[in-house]
Chain A
Amino acid sequence: MSRYVIKRLLLTVVILWCAGFVVFTLTYLVPGDVAKILLGPEATEDVLVIKRAALGLDQPYLVQLGRFMYNTFIRFDFGDSWVFSSSVMAELLERIPRTLIIGLSGMIINVSIGTILGIIAATHEGKWQDSFVMVIAMVFVSAPDFFVALLLILLFSLKLGWLPAYGIDSWTGYILPIISSSLGAIAVNARQSRSSMLEVIRADFVTTARAKGQKESVITRKHMLPNAMMPIITGVGGGLAVMIAGSPVIESVFSIPGVGAYLLSGVNQHDYPVVWACVIFLALFTSFAILIMDLCYAFLDPRIKAQYSRGKKVKG
Chain B
Amino acid sequence: MTAKQQYKRPNAVLEFFGRMTKAFSAKLGVILFVIIVLVCLIGPFFSPYDVNGIDLINMFKGPSKAHLLGCDEMGRDIFTRLMYGGRYSLALGLCSSLFGAAVGVIIGSVAGFFGGKIETFLMRLMDVWAALPGMLLCILVSNVMGSGFFSTVLALTVGGIPGTVRMIRGQILTERSKEYIEAAQSINCSSFSIMFRHLLPNVIQPVIVTTTMGIGSTMIMAASLSYIGLGIQPPNPEWGAMLATGKTQIRTYPHMLLVPGIAIALTVFAINLMGDGIRDALDPKLRD
Contacts and interface: CB of A to CB of B under 8 A. Distances in A.
Do the two shown chains form a genuine complex with each other?
A: yes
Contacts of A245: 133-136
Nearest to B136: A245
Contact of B224 (A15, A22, A246): A246
A304 B159 CA distance: 29
Contact of B269 (A138, A151, A253, A264): A138
A249 B228 CA distance: 7
A246 B138 CA distance: 11
B257 interface: yes
Interface in A114-130: none
Contacts of A282: 132-133, 136
A11 B127 contact: yes
B251 A252 contact: no
Given A30-B144, A248-B228, A279-B136, A150 B131 contact: no
Interface residues of A, number: 46
A142 B128 contact: no
B34 interface: no
Q: Would you call the interface of chain B mostly helix, strand, loop, or mixed? A: helix
A244 interface: yes
A180 interface: no
A245 B221 CA distance: 11
A141 interface: yes
Nearest to B127: A15
A286 B129 CA distance: 12
Given A30-B144, A279-B136, A142 B265 contact: yes
Interface in B241-285: 243, 247, 250-251, 254, 257, 261, 264-266, 268-269, 272-273, 276
Nearest to B257: A150
A283 B132 contact: yes
Interface of B: 25, 127-128, 131-136, 139-141, 143-144, 146, 216, 220, 223-224, 227-230, 240, 243, 247, 250-251, 254, 257, 261, 264-266, 268-269, 272-273, 276
Interface of A: 11, 14-16, 18-19, 22-23, 26-27, 29-31, 138-139, 141-147, 150-151, 153-154, 158, 241-242, 244-246, 248-249, 252-253, 263-264, 267-268, 275, 279, 282-283, 286-287
